Structure 1
Amino acid sequence: KAYDELKDLFKGFEDFLIVVFTRIDELEEARLDLDGQLKAAPPKVGKIIQDAGGRYLGIKNKTGSSERRQEGNKLRVEVYKLMNKNGGKHYSNKLLKKITDKVDKDASTRQVSTDVIRKEVAEEKNPSLLEKIKIILSEYVFKNICTIL
């Protein structure tokens, strides 16, 4: 259900999606492999991977530093392939752009980095900006509900 809500909220994000499974080392310890587990997974998991253009990979959690670098490189390779496929473009939609613009404006007004503002929003320490974001979201939801009706 959460995935469907994300799809509705962020239309087209699947073109920029890589599904990452963690704890692959635990599968290996149990003499299982990711592909085999995915074949036995609920159809919804397969649908998400299909929507992502078949892009998925497994990452081990319990690794030494050299293997951790290899795991990081594996992910980087997939990200670069995806960036190449999308012509170097990153995901964006009108909703995300409006929210990002509000964050940027707040950061500029207060002369702080956007990271500071994002952290405040995440920790709910910026009620003024949170209220603006809620208004943007409610307008977006209302508009889309009206479109559906």
Structure 2
Amino acid sequence: MMNQQAYKKTYKPLVLWLLFFLAASTLMPMGINRIMQEHLKITWGAGAEVKMILMFMVLAIDGLMWMIYAGEYVYWINGGPSFEEAKAAGSEKRKAYAGAHLKVFLKMTLLCCVYLAISLLFRFPMGIDIVAITAAVVGAAIKTMPIHFD
């Protein structure tokens, strides 16, 4: 529980998350592809690379939602409370609100993991993977719309 005095408005963790996301989503596929080809002698093609990027994206969204939950940064959530409303509400209410969002996105991640495993097994085209994962993320975002702070 965070005490009211210590609750400060900041966007530094969000900026760091954005920089990490940008760097990791750019460099990770190249690095893993190089390791797979050079050390393990495995060539896996663009489809598997796209699946990996999609899974990273979903996990990164979970990481962002966890960061919002842990830091009680509920004012980062679109449609959520202002910083002043969040501060006045107290830690328990902020945690409950962020936790409700986190729960929705964790369920979406589980669904995406199952889908991508099936997709890998049956070699679904990358276009279908992109549409399916995008739909899951958008669906999760829509599912959080009824969650209200008040």
> What TM-score do the two structures reach when normalised by structure 2?
0.27
When you count helix as a share of all residues, which structure comes out higher?
Answer: 2
Larger radius of gyration: 1
- Higher-RCO chain (CA-CA 8 Å, sequence separation at least 6): 2
